[in-house]
Homo-oligomer: A and B are copies of this chain.
């Protein structure tokens, strides 16, 4: 009998995309949907980055080096130097999006049945990569009432078992926007070193910090072999479709093993490596402009949310996400209702229910993630919709 593998059955559907059919139905009815459900920025990809691709001059679209073009890796050394991360080009392996960096790290450092501790709520696709690698995610709850600060060291210590191989962090965080301060990172570093664990750090949103400095896990002293950085150009340069990321570490054994996974899939995409290389040469103020835009959106969003009766949204320090608790019976039901049964002046809003970002069943039932990836006009109109919706939603509590 033909069957889907147990792994294929376990593989979670995307919590971000599962409402898509309802959004499509709303659009067919003529309702405008504001998409705050997905981290696809509306910011234009910088023209010099796109132009670099337009002006490629090769005649054969060849495989690149399995670790990525050397010229691009050398350029990335410049980029990392600017953010205080000193690495050599052979400590960088270019990946197919940050996604592949995460998968490679899990495959290389953990075996089936091994455990990885991740503060929840966390980026939902970590679950998918964990299923692919047969790895058990052990979630530690960060509380919205505490602004999603790191759970205490004791909670990590208590969660460690003989099968624990790694701790994973996204900083600044998707979905919470929480920016981890140096002290919390040092706490994790100490735990990782004491227990011989890897420290995986997903820093896709590094440039988007509003109320403090970003600390990279690669800055931490005394943990060179422990830290593995997962990175991507997707959000940094609004280049999500390029599918170019990087795995960066000073651990030689990890690099050697990851290279075998990289060789098996031959090479990362060639066109977008050109884009990535050009991006490093963008003027220094590029991030200032983009950061200011996101910050003003955040300020608008958080103010509007906290102005709604029964809504609470801690102020996110980075990335372009906010988590809010809503006065509803069930955020999954509410988000579907927004698309199926609600509109305000011909408009509605699509949010990501938070349940998919929690590993612990039952958590996040009253929470949603909002991605502030739309311009302020649209964002204000989306908030109008949400405010009206909360007034009339039948499952209001």
Residues of chain A touching chain B, judged by Cβ–Cβ distance below 8 Å, are: 1-9, 11-14, 17, 40-45, 49-50, 53-56, 59-64, 66, 96-97, 99-100, 103, 107-112, 114, 125, 128-129, 132-134, 165, 196-198, 225-226, 238-243, 251, 253-254, 257-258, 260-261, 263-272, 275
CB distance from A51 to the nearest CB of B (A): 11
Partner of A263, one of B17, B261, B270: B17
User: How many Å lie between the Cα of A30 and that of B1 in the bound state?
Assistant: 59
Is there contact, CB below 8 Å, between B17 and A110? no
Please report whether the interface of chain A is mostly helix, strand, loop or mixed according to DSSP.
Answer: loop
Specify which chain B residues have a CB less than 8 angstroms from the CB of A198 in the assembled complex: 2
Give CA–CA (A40, B6) in the complex, Å. 36
4 nearest A-B residue pairs (beta carbon): A241-B270, A128-B264, A271-B271, A8-B257
Contact of A241 among B40, B63, B107, B225 (CB under 8 A): B63
* Alpha-carbon distance A100/B95, docked complex (angstroms): 13
Of all chain B residues, the one with the shortest Cβ separation from A192 is B2
Measured CB to CB, the nearest residue on chain B to A260 is B11
B4 pairs with A62, CB closer than 8 A: no
What residues on B are CB-neighbors of A103 within 8 Å? 265
Copies, count? 2
**Complex alpha-carbon distance, A103 and B125, angstroms:** 17
- Whether B64 pairs with A266 at a CB distance below 8 angstroms is no
B14 touches A260 (CB 8 A): yes
Residue numbers in B under 8 Å from A55 (CB-CB): 54
| Distance of A366 from chain B, by nearest CB (Å) | 25
Closest to A69 in B: B241
Q: Are B9 and A241 in contact (CB under 8 A)?
A: no
Q: A239 CA to B17 CA in the complex, in Å?
A: 31
A66 contacts which chain B residues (CB < 8 A)?
Answer: 14, 17
With A and B bound together, what is the CA distance between A100 and B132 in angstroms? 13
Residues of B near A254 (CB, < 8 A) are 4
| A261→B11 contact, CB < 8 A | yes
| A12 vs B260: C-alpha distance when bound (angstroms) | 7
Tell me, in angstroms, the Cα distance from A355 to B292 when the chains sit together.
57
- Option from B97, B263, B271 in Cβ contact (under 8 Å) with A242: B271
A-B contact pairs, 12 of them (CB 8 A): A2-B197, A2-B198, A2-B253, A4-B254, A5-B110, A9-B257, A17-B263, A64-B241, A132-B261, A269-B269, A269-B271, A271-B271
Contact status of A5 and B111, CB under 8 A, knowing A61-B241, A257-B11, A264-B125: yes
In the complex, what residues of B have CB within 8 A of residue A165's CB? 3, 5
A107 in contact with B7 given A14-B263, A61-B45 (CB within 8 Å): yes
In the assembled complex, the Cα of A41 lies from the Cα of B59 at a distance in Å of 12
Measured CA separation A34–B100 after assembly (Å)? 33
- Min CB gap A203→B, angstroms: 17
**Max chain B CB contacts within 10 Å: which of A55, A59, A226, A269?**
A269
A96 (CB) vs chain B CBs: closest residue: B96
Q: Closest approach, in angstroms, between the C-beta of A383 and any C-beta of chain B? A: 23
On chain B, the residues within 8 Å of A49 by CB distance are 61
Expressed in whole angstroms, the minimum distance between the Cβ of A380 and any Cβ of chain B is 21
Contact present for B243 and A268 (CB under 8 Å): yes
Using Cβ atoms and an 8 Å threshold, which residues of chain B touch A133? 7
| A48–chain B nearest beta-carbon distance, Å | 13
